[in-house]
A and B are shown apart, each in its own frame.
Chain A
């Protein structure tokens, strides 16, 4: 299994359960060494994709390659090289958190004792408590520590922070940055947009089992609009007529509007002669990207539980 530049490459992946389609021609490519955001609403197929990558589900059609191998056929060999953190962590109630971390680490092929203890400290987890007494957040920490304490070259994280508080969220982000510095690859499924923005080099947005956008955040932003709030010395007129300008609200010397990122330059040139007193430009947030893809119709779509 030679290491290629692609840690994960999926093309036209399809999977249905009974009559319900979970993946409908999904494409995903994750380069070695990047942190890749995997974004989509609940039921869009994120978990199903990760389970296919883990060899737990057999795809109906399409190609999936991971770390140069076939996720279904080479499951055991590949699993030595990856760590997985599920989104909904269920643990054996009678085992302690420390026991679960050690057990999962050993089953993968060993874990770094020193890093394990350090992570326990950073995530502030008591490893002596029985799993049945842990809250959702603490169960998630157990799975995270088990995954992060490994030397795996690929981390598959399925909404790993949905139960963590903001403090732990920032510890998590720090850990992922360290993982990235070590040159390891991360596939981070999430619907916490701030987390994706903070961590990811590239993002794939999926909807109804298909990839609808994929690229760097800059690339994605280019496809969308920047919000501008401006105050000028002279009255603002004729903004509506400019190409690519939308939703203009003008009050004398103040104006607020959105502009297609491609037309930003033209608009700024038009504003400059009016004597700009203040200008705030807000780049599109991931949230706006996200809502642009789902805002209109995501409510009506029948979804498959992933």
Chain B
């Protein structure tokens, strides 16, 4: 343990820019949910109506939590947001522990640290302490925000504590996983799988008898029933489990060599497959994993949104205030809801497109582009190889959302026609997504250094315009530069082709101009 306090200070310093974003994200989720829920279902009457609507909708229960939480307004907040906040905090804990243990061993930096007066257990202890502090901070902030928005203090404390407990448990799970696997990607894969299993188990449990929820850390957290039962004892499960897991991790750490795991890394193929022969195949190979992840994520999001589609009609009839948030008002309520959800998903797909296009810059700055461009691969082929995955990938991810939403909505109203319909609706946003990708390419050609900042500012700007233009009464000229503001709000509005064609032409122009810049500039600077 020698050196652990010093290491912890060092880790806090290294995380001083990244960690606040995680905490902010988790806190904002609670802040937004608490304000919205209290606005929408502030009276016992409205809450009772909500219980009626949602209590019988298994899809909503599967995405949220046990219906007993709906007994009070605070519980309603927990019902809607707990699982998501728990996932965010669990991921935060996983990355904090993984990044400062296994990933450090992989890069060899930990070797330098361990060669100093630092004990064998110190890096793990410091990483766990860091994650623990972050989890406590997240819990505290959530309790403060919940109480600050007017929810009872006792329940708010329990809400925060339950989130902390889930976070600590996943930190401890990660601590075991880093002893088992030799590379950090395998660690994150394994822990994320467990996190997914925790979500699925509690979903199945909450829809059914509730027994399965007791096998899930997220279920333990929810079954403290903040604001509706306020019982603290279920938190004993995550705390005891965490202590056991940390003990196991420490024991495994004592038995393994530095840099080794219990499961040795599997060897890969000794020769490249027949198809791995050009820039296109390379880009596909490098990005297929993350593309699959995004596609699965958006199918699930589509299913989540689509499953509420039918309920929304009655829900809005019960709560006229909600209609204000939907374009088109109370008429055509389901179409308005679908248009809103597809518009939101398109922004997420734009984030995928920008992150995928920015890989081109990462390839360049990491030095991996150099050996490729030193072969008979032209700059055009190199760019086209990467962009083909980005452009086709954006289409695929959008389509995944549309199919997911169409399938789920179609199932609830027994209409298979919703699947192709919503797939088409989703694809109407493709030109706008492509334009954002083209903006990144333009930056890659003419202003490569700030390209990442420019790309993300563009996504941020479009998100603000889409999500807040109406509620904040932003002036029209502010919205005009967002391609999403010009995309027809199908299925609520008709599919107008002219704006889509204009957006496509602009995107093509930006791509060509970006390539012209890339062709004439130095590579690697």
Contact surface of A with B, Cβ cutoff 8 Å: 17, 51, 54-58, 75-77, 79-80, 82, 84, 86, 88-92, 94-96, 98-104, 106-109, 126-130, 132-133, 143, 146, 156
Contact = CB atoms under 8 A, between A and B. Distances in A.
A89 B366 CA distance: 10
Contacts of A133: 182-183, 265
A132 B376 contact: no
Interface of B: 106, 182-183, 185, 265, 267-273, 276-279, 281-282, 285-286, 289, 366-368, 370-378, 520-525
Contacts of A79: 374-377
A66 to B, nearest CB: 12
A104 B265 contact: no
B371 A104 contact: yes
29 contacts: A17-B522, A51-B370, A54-B370, A56-B370, A56-B522, A56-B524, A58-B522, A75-B373, A76-B376, A80-B376, A82-B374, A92-B282, A94-B285, A99-B269, A101-B272, A102-B272, A102-B276, A104-B372, A107-B377, A108-B375, A108-B376, A128-B267, A128-B270, A129-B267, A132-B183, A133-B182, A133-B183, A133-B265, A146-B371
Contacts of B366: 90
Top 10 closest pairs, chain A to chain B, by CB: A102-B272, A128-B267, A96-B268, A107-B375, A84-B374, A106-B277, A99-B272, A108-B375, A98-B270, A56-B523
B286 A98 contact: no
Nearest to B521: A58
A127 B368 contact: no
A210 B272 CA distance: 42
Given A106-B276, A128-B267, 17 more contacts: A17-B525, A51-B370, A51-B523, A56-B374, A58-B521, A80-B376, A88-B367, A89-B371, A92-B368, A99-B269, A99-B276, A104-B375, A106-B272, A107-B375, A107-B376, A132-B183, A146-B371
Contacts of A98: 268-272
A257 to B, nearest CB: 46
A271 to B, nearest CB: 54
A102 B278 CA distance: 10
Contacts of A106: 272, 276-278
A76 B378 contact: yes
A100 B270 CA distance: 10
Contacts of B521: 58
Contacts of B183: 130, 132-133
B361 to A, nearest CB: 14
A58 B370 contact: no
B185 to A, nearest CB: 8
Contact of A130 (B268, B271, B285, B522): B268
Contacts of A75: 373, 378
B373 A54 contact: yes
A90 B272 contact: no
A106 B271 CA distance: 12
Nearest to B289: A94
